[in-house]
Structure 1
Amino acid sequence: MKKIFFLLSTVFLMSCEDVLKEAPKAVAVETFYNTAAEVETAVNAAYQELRATNGISGQLGAQVEAYTDYSYGRGSYQVLSDFQGLNSTNIPRTDDGWRLFYLSIRNANLVIQNAPKGKNISQADVAKYVAEAKFLRAYNYFWLVRNWGGVPIRTEATLNEPNVKRGTVDEVYTLIIADLKEAETNLPDKPAQVGRATKWAAKAALAEVYFTRNQYAEARDKADEIIKSGQFSLVPVTVAADFDKVFGPTIVTSPEEIFYLKMTRQNNQGMYLAMFAHHPGTRLHGAGGFFAHYTDSQTNPVYKNWDNNDLRKSYNWINWNIGLGNNSMLCKKFSDALAPTSTAAGNDFPIYRYSDVLLMYAEAACRASNGPTAAALEALNQVHRRAYGKSATAPSTVDFKLADYTAETFNDLVLQERGYETQYEAKRWLDLKRLGTAKLKQIIKAATGKDVADKHLFWPIPVGELNFNTALDPSKDQNLGY
């Protein structure tokens, strides 16, 4: 079923991207955006860049996974774990991320501009596909603003304008929130195909945006809408291997999936990030592995202090000597022994899982109320119980107790749980950044002994953008240190 879905969707994605990217003028508006099928094909093109091998589920994800407190980069990614900014090897990688984000935005803008002009498409379908395009545009800008700061804001209104000034962070977030609110209103409750955005994906994205912006009451309420909907639940786990039902390469979907980038075992159509975690000797990836990230069981405090009874620990990590001693550990969370190539792991890439929403709710509710609440504690405990093989919704012996925590210690507890729950999902660095520079530096210093340079907080604006976008001033618009 999963393979059939992707064989069909890949044809649309690849053919549409070829037209839009390589010869956009060959697509005549009056003959292409006229039917629901044609508009859907155009929307599919905006997904493709997010799934690209150099995108967030691949090489760009590998960048931020080298910035965590629980692991270190190796090889060309080792310098990233020094937290002193990018070198000449890694700058082209983030440059390509910029290119992919803006290509996805451009493809979304084409839908937003042209779908309403279609002659043989219903208004309901126009609203649905424009909402989907706006969701994708918002998500691209969300990655851009968190990693580059203020960026040029390109919308359907400036589609043919190459020179666009750098917007402020607030201006970018204004567009993101507006787009997500429209997506929340007009996207369907259930996806027509597995992997398409729904109103629940929009709500989850809004919750994370508010969370990032320190709008905790809004983040709490939006996450609570998802929780109270009854649409999602945590997959039951009794032994570590049961997490395969969440992350395994053959899973089509699960009750905790809110929005994932869907992958399949085809060259350039699988999760590339999985390749960075493995070593050929483990045979956990069919194509071998780059072993570009690792941790040390004796020196990394996050791993060392993690309770061995937490099933996530043994599921996520395997002991393997990569030439750095017998204590080196590799993350095996996303494994596919049958992946035919390095870009063909069948594991889907989670963007929003129900556990993520529960943990967002727990922290946001505590911060909004200036102290932990019973509902916040229950949301946290559900994730924690599942991690120990317990029923997520029944009280257990591993439960945290409300009386044991202040606002500060509860927030730190949730942050720790988020760190365990979302490993290798390209979330941890951005999670730490939202807490502010001082807190981020404190956490990284405690875990790695490294000082985070201010230069490391944002990636450089690509030189190509500065050279060809005359609305930018290379001396004023480049990020600190580049």
Structure 2
Amino acid sequence: MKTKLYYLLIILILVSCKKQDEWLDKKANISDVIPVTLNDMQALLDNDDVLNRQYPALGLIASDNFFVSNSYLAATYTLERTSYKWASDIFEGLTTEGFDWSVCYKQIEYANIVLDGINKVAHSNQNEYDNIKGQALFFRAYSLYHLMQVFGKPYIPGRESVDLGVIVKLSSDINVKAQRSTVQACYDQIIADLKSAETLLPQYALYKTRPSKIAAHAMLSKVYLNMQNYNQAYVYAGLVLAQEHSLLDFNSISKTPTYPFPRFPGVVNSEILFFSSSQTYSMFGLSTMFVDPGLYGLYVANDLRKTLFFRTNADGTYSFRGRYTGTTPLFNGLAINETMLIQAECLARAGSTEAAMTVLNGLLKTRWIKDSNGNSTYVDRMAANAEDALKIILIERRKELPFTGNLRWEDLRRLNQDARFAKTLVRDIAGVSYSLPPNDLRYTYPIPPAEMNVHSVIQNER
């Protein structure tokens, strides 16, 4: 019976180009699943509806890159409305787990099922075994990282061993109760999983929805940047860019489609290293999410991002359409452009002004209009010193990655620790002013009530 099912699964893959783990549908819940072969485990990890989509996005809702109308806000879902207003109590009596929390732990459970069982599986193909184990380790780290950006305290050097992170689940056994770990312990686990994964994964994956060695390096660079360990962030960014540095020429992208960039998983976007997307909150629609005028004003006329990223609406507002998914969901994955910006920032912080600007200019040149002779109209940016370079790079980081997952939220949490870049967020909603000062307790979301009832963990102060 299982053999027939695997053949059916292969046929479905070939016909639809979508890797689904259909045998899971016959199970009441994921904890009932006991994969017994490597094929079972790969099928589990190929469920991209679970493992590559629906990553946390509450941080984006609370960031400063967009606004919504007062009428829409009054009618939208509770979690979206309260997050947008930076409310202390975002649940307002709701007993829900919240998608940002529950989906990530479902992803971690999938990974743990594989990791709990893979050592017991007889196998003849060591490369396949290593690859599957590496994928599971990557997914566990990836999901834990994204949980930390919403529900764990920011990484603040000197407080990382005191402040609380999230619950680290290393077993698929639902009877194992866990408490919250410190921020440092959470990041230690993320790094350990990613470093183990990089030794097991192939350099390139068969699909962009599967982790690879390059994706593990890109993620390590991102994690170390978040920890403000800029030396290690630079090292891992360099490992990525030594292998992959193919950027899209924005001159080759048509402005006509609603969503201009290649639709995943159709035409390959060469910049994507690993594909994942965010929760599709209703607030993120083209007709509901309007770009902050201050952000839009940062783009100059010859910058193709001004038209490829944004749609001009009849009322003079702007909507974000430059989604690397090529469709409605917002891209949340790993890409070359982000890795280059990490490398540039690290170089600037190390005092290597010229090298930092060379990396940045290499990226921006592909975003500028070409003249009639096919030459870029871009003029290399110059920086007077390393601090000037850093300021330029951080602005360009915001412009290049305005709606990539929770990235702006992550940057606010990190950069607010530096007085040079600290920012108070302000919203005027129906005549009432709301604000979120730097390093406010509300930069960490509360643990959902449903989880509090199960684990009785310490709640985040708001």
TM-score w.r.t. length of structure 2: 0.80
> Does structure 1 residue 200 correspond to structure 2 residue 214?
yes
Instruction: Name the structure 2 match of 1:7.
Output: 16
Does the 8 A contact of 1:258 with 1:353 survive in 2?
A: yes
Does the 8 A contact of 1:336 with 1:346 survive in 2?
A: yes
Instruction: Name the structure 1 match of 2:160.
Output: none
Pick the aligned partner of 2:381 from 400, 416, 419: 400
Instruction: Name the structure 2 match of 1:416.
Output: 395
Deviation at 1:301, TM superposition (A): 2.0
Name which of structure 1's ranges 418-427 and 65-74 shifts more when overlaid on structure 2: 65-74
Using a 3 Å threshold, how does the CA distance of structure 1 residues 232 and 251 change in structure 2: closer, same or farther?
A: farther
Does the 8 A contact of 1:432 with 1:439 survive in 2?
A: no
Structure 1 unaligned segments of length 5 or more: list them.
Answer: 263-269, 280-290, 338-344
Structure 1 residues 119-163: Cα deviation after superposition (integer angstroms, max 9, x where no partner): 24533322211110000000011011121111111103x734442
Q: What is the correspondence of 1:33-432 to structure 2 with a 5 Å cutoff? A: 33-34=36-37, 36-45=38-47, 47-52=48-53, 55-56=54-55, 60-61=56-57, 63-74=58-69, 75=73, 76=76, 77=80, 79-85=82-88, 87-88=90-91, 95-149=98-152, 150-156=165-171, 159-229=173-243, 231-238=244-251, 241=254, 246-248=261-263, 251-261=266-276, 272=280, 276-279=284-287, 291=288, 293-295=289-291, 300-321=293-314, 326-334=315-323, 345=327, 349-367=331-349, 369=350, 371-389=351-369, 397-401=378-382, 404-426=383-405, 427-432=407-412
Does the 8 A contact of 1:308 with 1:314 survive in 2?
A: no
Distance 1:148 1:273 in 2: 18
Q: CA RMSD in A?
A: 3.3
Instruction: Name the structure 1 match of 2:31.
Output: 24
- Local SS of the residue matching 1:197: coil
Name which of structure 1's ranges 246-255 and 65-74 shifts more when overlaid on structure 2: 246-255
Distance 1:446 1:23 in 2: 42
Does the 8 A contact of 1:318 with 1:330 survive in 2?
A: yes
Using a 3 Å threshold, how does the CA distance of structure 1 residues 361 and 96 change in structure 2: closer, same or farther?
A: same
* Aligned residue identity for 1:478: Q
Distance 2:202 2:325 in 1: 32
* Aligned residue identity for 1:67: A
Deviation at 1:385, TM superposition (A): 1.2
Instruction: Name the structure 2 match of 1:340.
Output: none
Using a 3 Å threshold, how does the CA distance of structure 1 residues 93 and 396 change in structure 2: closer, same or farther?
A: farther
* Aligned residue identity for 1:361: Q
* Aligned residue identity for 2:415: L
Distance 2:211 2:370 in 1: 31
* Aligned residue identity for 1:16: L
Distance 1:336 1:202 in 2: 20
Does the 8 A contact of 2:62 with 2:83 survive in 1?
A: yes
Distance 2:115 2:387 in 1: 43
Using a 3 Å threshold, how does the CA distance of structure 1 residues 311 and 88 change in structure 2: closer, same or farther?
A: same
Does the 8 A contact of 1:235 with 1:245 survive in 2?
A: no
Deviation at 1:8, TM superposition (A): 5.3
Structure 1 residues 188-241: Cα deviation after superposition (integer angstroms, max 9, x where no partner): 112123421110000000000000001101101110111112x33101122663
Does the 8 A contact of 2:369 with 2:376 survive in 1?
A: no
The structure carrying a bigger helix percent of its residues is 1
Deviation at 1:174, TM superposition (A): 0.6
- Local SS of the residue matching 2:273: strand
- Local SS of the residue matching 1:139: helix
- Local SS of the residue matching 1:164: coil
Distance 1:376 1:222 in 2: 16
Using a 3 Å threshold, how does the CA distance of structure 1 residues 68 and 306 change in structure 2: closer, same or farther?
A: farther
Distance 1:294 1:78 in 2: 15
Name which of structure 1's ranges 244-253 and 159-168 shifts more when overlaid on structure 2: 244-253
Does the 8 A contact of 1:247 with 1:333 survive in 2?
A: no
* Aligned residue identity for 1:100: V
Deviation at 1:275, TM superposition (A): 8.0
Using a 3 Å threshold, how does the CA distance of structure 1 residues 444 and 414 change in structure 2: closer, same or farther?
A: farther
Using a 3 Å threshold, how does the CA distance of structure 1 residues 124 and 239 change in structure 2: closer, same or farther?
A: closer
Distance 2:60 2:423 in 1: 15
Distance 1:439 1:99 in 2: 35
Does the 8 A contact of 1:336 with 1:347 survive in 2?
A: yes
Does the 8 A contact of 1:201 with 1:258 survive in 2?
A: yes
Deviation at 1:182, TM superposition (A): 1.1
Using a 3 Å threshold, how does the CA distance of structure 1 residues 188 and 41 change in structure 2: closer, same or farther?
A: same
Does the 8 A contact of 1:232 with 1:257 survive in 2?
A: no
Does the 8 A contact of 1:188 with 1:199 survive in 2?
A: yes
* Aligned residue identity for 1:332: R
Pick the aligned partner of 1:460 from 446, 452, 455: 446
Using a 3 Å threshold, how does the CA distance of structure 1 residues 93 and 327 change in structure 2: closer, same or farther?
A: farther
Structure 2 unaligned segments of length 5 or more: list them.
Answer: 1-11, 153-164
Instruction: Name the structure 1 match of 2:7.
Output: none
Instruction: Name the structure 2 match of 1:283.
Output: none
Count of residue pairs the alignment pairs up = 419
Distance 2:239 2:113 in 1: 31
